[in-house]
Amino acid sequence: MTSHVHGSSCLINQALNHTSSKEALTSGRCGFSITCTRKRLQLRSIGRVAHHRKTIAVRSVLTGDLEENEREKQTSPKVASGWEKWVVKVERGVNVLLTDSVIFLLDNLYADRHYARFYVLETIARVPYFAFVSVLHMYESFGWWRRADYLKVHFAESWNELHHLLVMEALGGDKRWFDRFLAQHIAVAYFFLAALMYTISPRMAYHFSECVERHAYSTYDKFIKQHGAELKKLPAPAVAVEYYTKGDLYMFDEFQTNQVPNSRRPKVGMEHMHNINNNLYDVFINIRDDEGEHCKTMLACQTPGRLTSPHAITENNGNDVENRALHPAECMGILDCIITSSSSASRAQKQNSLKESGKK
């Protein structure tokens, strides 16, 4: 992979050098004309763009097929007003700082204790989904918000992270009292932080959770590459086999908003002569891929109204009956909720008006 990138870079550099020499001959004819200077700058910028695109594609492969996320980020609608751009930059800067602080702590405490690190990581990773659901239920109580999709997807995400945690407990990640103490207290603090953040700016909370999930993905991916041969010799915990092969697969599909239901069915082990060899390698592959799906879902949530339950359309032959009956009420943050608060009848009337205008 590295040699491929290096080779691509060499080709680009050769093209640039060839172009530069060509331009040197041309510049001798036209001197220091503005036309030649513009051509030179354009050609160099094209080379930089091509190299940048190649780097993104390679990085996506190295991180495990998250290229779709990169593409979605590039095609996502841009914020119009200048002050909003600065708000987004501040939000993301704070999120990266918080994430890096936790990563620094875990790197120093759990350099050689992988299962304990994963236990702490999974205890923390499921907390924001509790916080999101709690805030959304509060909004429902006030009549500010009503969308079944978000509740279903976030609960399914917490259900998936719960089983990741059960796997780490089965592997002995919670043996030490200190590890349990640290994970549980970070989780409590994280819950209130995530709830407050989600109340003020759901976009910021979703991006923070995306940062956490990206770190989880890269951590598992690195671990698999370093210990793959050893993991293939170890048996899979019963809870992992049960969850991925016999568990509630409806819930398993629900949190994967970029997947069609029933399209992803992880395997734990390989079947040889009717003997199933359940190994730990497959378990960590599945957990890593789960984190990638969480990351994609959190990215989708950052665009208001974009999240849809994977089962919402397929179960009703293309008609989202459940959400139509609920007359969706959405708001982004408590201030927006107060301003846009309306009754169920008003929301239904507005929705019908939009449908009529759409038909015209």
Q: What is the pLDDT of residues 205-230, one digit of tens each?
A: 999 999 999 999 999 999 999 999 99
Return the pLDDT at 7.
47
Identify the DSSP state of 235: B
Q: Could you tell me which residues are beta bridge partners of residue 235?
A: 279
Residue range 168-191: average pLDDT? Answer: 94
**178 CB-near residues (< 8 Å, 6+ apart):** none
43-47, 192-196, 325-329: lowest mean pLDDT where? 43-47
Q: Is the per-residue pLDDT at 347 higher than 80? A: no
* pTM metric for this prediction: 0.67
Please report, as a single letter, which amino acid is at residue 185. Answer: H
Q: Confidence band (pLDDT; 50, 70, 90) for 315?
A: low
Q: Is the per-residue pLDDT at 355 higher than 60? A: no
**108-132 confidence digits (pLDDT tens):** 999 889 999 999 999 998 999 999 9
Q: Confidence band (pLDDT; 50, 70, 90) for 354?
A: low
CB 266 within 8 A of CB 293: no
**261-294 confidence digits (pLDDT tens):** 766 777 776 543 344 557 899 999 999 999 999 9
Range among 78-82, 135-139, 290-294, 334-338 rated most confident: 290-294
Return the pLDDT at 162.
93
Q: Is the per-residue pLDDT at 60 higher than 60? A: no
In terms of C-beta density within 10 A (0-12 exposed, 13-18 middle, 19 or more buried), how is residue 330 classed? middle
Return the pLDDT at 88.
85
Alpha helices (runs of H) in the chain, residue ranges in sequence order = 2-30, 34-62, 67-75, 82-109, 114-125, 127-141, 148-170, 177-200, 202-231, 238-241, 249-254, 280-301, 310-314, 321-326, 334-339, 344-359
d(C-alpha 113, C-alpha 19), whole Å: 53
**130-161 confidence digits (pLDDT tens):** 999 999 988 888 777 767 788 888 998 999 99
Q: Is the per-residue pLDDT at 310 higher than 60? A: yes
Residue range 290-299: average pLDDT? Answer: 91
Q: What percent of the chain has pLDDT over 70?
A: 59
Return the pLDDT at 335.
53
